[in-house]
Copies of this chain bind each other. A is one copy, B any other.
Amino acid sequence: QSAVTIYGSFDGGVRYRTNVDAAGNNNVTMSSNGTFNSNRIGFRGVEDLGGGLNAHFTLETGFNTGTGALNNTANRLFERTASVGLGGSWGSVDLGRQYTNAFQTIASYDPFSYKYPGIADAVAATAGTRYDNDIKYVGKFGPVTARAEYALGEVAGNTSASSAKSIAGTFSSGAFTAGAAYTLREDATGTFDTDHWTVGGAAKFGPARVAVGYANQEADNATPVDAKTRWMWIGGNFALTPAFELTAAFYKTKLSGSTVGDKDNLMLGATYALSKRTNLYTLLDTQKYDGAARVAAAGNSRQRGIAVGVNHLF
Which A residues have a C-beta under 8 Å from some C-beta of B? 1-2, 4-8, 10-14, 20-21, 23, 25-31, 41, 43, 45, 47, 49-50, 53, 55-57, 59, 61, 63-70, 72-86, 94-97, 132-133, 135, 152, 154-157, 159, 274-275, 277-278, 309-310, 312-314
Contacts and interface: CB of A to CB of B under 8 A. Distances in A.
Contact of A133 (B6, B30, B56, B97): B30
Given A12-B95, A47-B278, A66-B97, 6 more contacts: A10-B59, A21-B157, A25-B157, A29-B154, A30-B132, A64-B82
12 contacts: A2-B314, A4-B8, A23-B156, A30-B96, A30-B133, A47-B275, A47-B277, A57-B314, A67-B97, A72-B75, A77-B77, A85-B310
Nearest to A21: B156
- Kindly report how many copies of this chain are found in the complex they form together: 3
Nearest to A76: B69
A94 B11 CA distance: 11
A31 B66 contact: no
Contacts of A96: 12, 30, 65-66, 68
A57 B312 contact: yes
A118 to B, nearest CB: 15
A187 B28 CA distance: 17
Contact of A152 (B20, B25, B28, B55): B28
A2 B9 CA distance: 11
A154 B30 contact: yes
